[in-house]
Structure 1
Amino acid sequence: MKSSINVAVVGTGYWGKNHVRIYKSLEDSGTIRFKRICDANAVTRQKIAEQYRLESTGNYKEILNDPEIDAVSLCTPNDTHYKLGMEFLKAGKNLLIEKPLALTFEEAEQLTKFAEKEKLILMVGHVFRFNPLVRKLKEEFTKGSLGDVYLLAANRTCLYPPKRECGVIIDLAIHDIDITLYLLDEKLPKKIHATGGSFLGKKFEETAFIALDFDGITSYIFASWLFPNKVRETWVIGNKAEVHLDYVSEKMRMFEDVIIPNAYSEFEVQNGPCKEFFFEKQEPLKLELTHFVESVKRHQQPEVDGHIASRVIKVCEIATKSLLKQRPLVVE
């Protein structure tokens, strides 16, 4: 196992700057050597470089051709992930690509297969898999605390300018699609039905409502860039309990309120206790990047590899087609 690796970040904007901040903290602890950052925007690049006292460049090929760099975080716009990702893999770089891995299932599969062929680490930034709330939910789900689960529901809204290169499904709802697959052991849904559209007259949808049918379990996901209040929540409903995750307040609660049949062939609510879970303060992105670094050092498969990310892309792709065709689609 390598004692340390050389890391670079390509793309230091909205989310990439957080990669820079965390890698710098890992360098300060002796875990990595932070070699360089790259951003096409000179103002952004200079500001970040000065703040963290890092070498910088506006040309990603300088990082591509630097033999000392072992691993790269790629945090560029979504429609560049495939092209740049393939270039970095061909240059022999271990790679963490921010979600989505690519904009199509075919491109995601190509990146995954190439990384495997070249024996390189390819990890994808599905950061909610490293969120302590989601991990605890998975634990409770798996050990049967909720009983037979039959319904999942997620809301993810904010007021945000629509992306020029893609819609809200593959950029925002992708988080909840990924959480759903994670909870259900990476199973794909049998059928997908999505509705929504562009209310601003843009090429891609800004609002979507997605139903994922898993044969006995249904997951409903609502995502939109048009709401002024930032909402990030997941509900999981079983016949023994319900769990609510609020990612904004970082709270998780389990309600043991259930609906049961009564003597009159009707249903009634049986109230139970409410349990709130408490967590040690941990930043999911730091957990994710630490895992990436360790995967590269040990040359071992990361938790969120290209295969997992490709399955998420497949669901996003079919959901988008369902929205455009205005009908449910079977997942093959």
Structure 2
Amino acid sequence: MAQGDTGLSATPHIALVGCGYWGKNLCRNFHALGALYAVVDATENGQLTASSIAPDAQITDSIEDVLMDDQIHGIALATPAETHADLAIQAMQSGKDVFVEKPLALTLEDAEKMKKVAEETGRILMVGHLLEYHSGVLKLREIIASGELGKINYIYSNRLNFGKVRTEENALWSFAPHDVAVILRLIGQAPLEVSACGGSYLTNGIADTTMSNLRFVNESRAHIFVSWLHPFKEQRLVVVGDKKMAIFNDVAPFGEKLQLFPQKVEFDGSIPILKKEDAEFVEHANTEPLREECKHFLECIQSKKQPLTNAQSGIDVLKILHACQQSIEQNGVPVSL
């Protein structure tokens, strides 16, 4: 089917650009979905990795080869963030739909330009906010939307580990995009202001740990603690409503990742009374988030529907990351949005 058609009946053909630390996971998933057509990587290691995962895929070091190939419908970018804007725009102007790993771009100007090109060319532009495709997070969204938790008072997210230490970007930009994206989705609005602080202990000027605070309309709050200099791994999201509370613990075994706590505070006159019941585990599908994310991209190519994590989603996250970075550089001064 020609690339200009409104939809595809068969599985779209995907070219992956970058088969390194994270790209190899995209390679595995698109190959498993029967969609991987080609892999572009300039390094010998990347090419060997791609050929070992997907021996039938075309392997090349030239992105021009895949952009000129009419058999390829979509491009997945797993390249350094500074290359995202130029490569995505080039791909969309060549008639390809595009999936970009987070962050969408490094600057808001580039992200807005990418969105404009997607609109002008009629192409799909999707950003890889992986956690939004986790079945536990999707179930948590359902619970919040149903009103079961009541008004959301606050959310906090810890994303902590010993490594992977980076020297080209700080922990905020490396770890926090996932948490920002999920918090925005759960609360359903952008914050009024943010403040953040961080500490650099390994590389001068590169924060190894950051704490970001978000203030929303109606005084809902959220904070995000990220670090790659931490003694153990923790990926925990806590949502506190005025009726119930919930925990999403991504390092827990399947079946124990999402918990609901029927806890709240009532008042007898001016005296607070704690209402507490046993926590319960919440069932959700046992699916791989990255597989679901890749499937969603293929479905969007076929249907031409906007993805859940579209360009505007990427821009919304980027605005908060930039505001938090500005606050870090000003020693925690609040920044309005």
Q: TM-score, normalised by structure 2?
A: 0.92
User: What is the match of residue 203 of structure 1?
Assistant: 205
Look up the equivalent residue of 2:296 and give its one-letter code.
H
2:72 is the alignment partner of 1:69: yes
Is the contact between residue 198 and residue 209 of structure 2 (CA under 8 Å) also seen in structure 1? yes
Look up the equivalent residue of 2:265 and give its one-letter code.
I
User: What is the match of residue 103 of structure 1?
Assistant: 106
After superposition, give the CA deviation of every residue in 1:70-89 in whole Å (9 maximum; x if it has no partner). Answer: 10110112222122222222
After superposition, give the CA deviation of every residue in 1:140-169 in whole Å (9 maximum; x if it has no partner). Answer: 111111122111010001122433432221
User: What is the match of residue 316 of structure 1?
Assistant: 321
User: What is the match of residue 22 of structure 1?
Assistant: 29
Query: CA 1:228 to 1:65, structure 2 compared with 1: closer, same or farther past 3 Å?
Result: farther
User: What is the match of residue 45 of structure 1?
Assistant: 47
RMSD: 1.6
Look up the equivalent residue of 1:142 and give its one-letter code.
A
Query: CA 1:163 to 1:62, structure 2 compared with 1: closer, same or farther past 3 Å?
Result: farther
Partner Cα distance (1:136, 1:195) in 2: 32
Query: CA 1:17 to 1:37, structure 2 compared with 1: closer, same or farther past 3 Å?
Result: same
2:123 is the alignment partner of 1:120: yes
Look up the equivalent residue of 1:14 and give its one-letter code.
Y
Which consecutive residues of structure 2, in runs of 5 or more, have no partner in the other structure? 1-6
2:309 is the alignment partner of 1:304: yes
Is the contact between residue 46 and residue 56 of structure 1 (CA under 8 Å) also seen in structure 2? no
User: What is the match of residue 258 of structure 2?
Assistant: 252
User: What is the match of residue 7 of structure 1?
Assistant: 14
Out of 155, 159, 165, the position equivalent to 2:158 is: 155
After superposition, give the CA deviation of every residue in 1:273-298 in whole Å (9 maximum; x if it has no partner). Answer: 31211223111111111111111112
SS in 2 for 1:211: strand
Which consecutive residues of structure 1, in runs of 5 or more, have no partner in the other structure? none
- Percent identity for Structure 1 against Structure 2: 30
Is the contact between residue 131 and residue 182 of structure 2 (CA under 8 Å) also seen in structure 1? yes
Q: What is the deviation of 1:108?
A: 0.9
Count the aligned residue pairs: 325
Partner Cα distance (1:203, 1:12) in 2: 29
Is the contact between residue 139 and residue 284 of structure 2 (CA under 8 Å) also seen in structure 1? no
Partner Cα distance (2:169, 2:114) in 1: 19
2:81 is the alignment partner of 1:78: yes
Q: TM-score, normalised by structure 1?
A: 0.93
Q: What is the deviation of 1:119?
A: 0.7
Partner Cα distance (2:39, 2:77) in 1: 10
Out of 144, 147, 160, the position equivalent to 1:144 is: 147
Q: What is the deviation of 1:224?
A: 0.7
Is the contact between residue 133 and residue 252 of structure 1 (CA under 8 Å) also seen in structure 2? yes
Q: What is the deviation of 1:118?
A: 0.8
Look up the equivalent residue of 1:331 and give its one-letter code.
S
Query: CA 1:51 to 1:292, structure 2 compared with 1: closer, same or farther past 3 Å?
Result: closer
Q: What is the deviation of 1:262?
A: 4.3
Look up the equivalent residue of 1:296 and give its one-letter code.
I
Look up the equivalent residue of 1:87 and give its one-letter code.
Q
SS in 2 for 1:240: coil
Is the contact between residue 169 and residue 316 of structure 1 (CA under 8 Å) also seen in structure 2? yes
Query: CA 1:195 to 1:281, structure 2 compared with 1: closer, same or farther past 3 Å?
Result: same
Out of 260, 264, 274, the position equivalent to 2:279 is: 274
Partner Cα distance (1:323, 1:203) in 2: 11
Partner Cα distance (1:165, 1:295) in 2: 33
Is the contact between residue 158 and residue 224 of structure 1 (CA under 8 Å) also seen in structure 2? yes
Q: What is the deviation of 1:307?
A: 0.7
SS in 2 for 1:296: helix
SS in 2 for 1:223: strand
2:169 is the alignment partner of 1:166: yes
User: What is the match of residue 289 of structure 1?
Assistant: 294
After superposition, give the CA deviation of every residue in 1:161-215 in whole Å (9 maximum; x if it has no partner). Answer: 4334322212211111111100122x11011010113111333222100000003
Look up the equivalent residue of 1:235 and give its one-letter code.
V
Is the contact between residue 168 and residue 224 of structure 1 (CA under 8 Å) also seen in structure 2? yes
Is the contact between residue 152 and residue 187 of structure 2 (CA under 8 Å) also seen in structure 1? no
SS in 2 for 1:202: coil
Is the contact between residue 197 and residue 323 of structure 1 (CA under 8 Å) also seen in structure 2? no
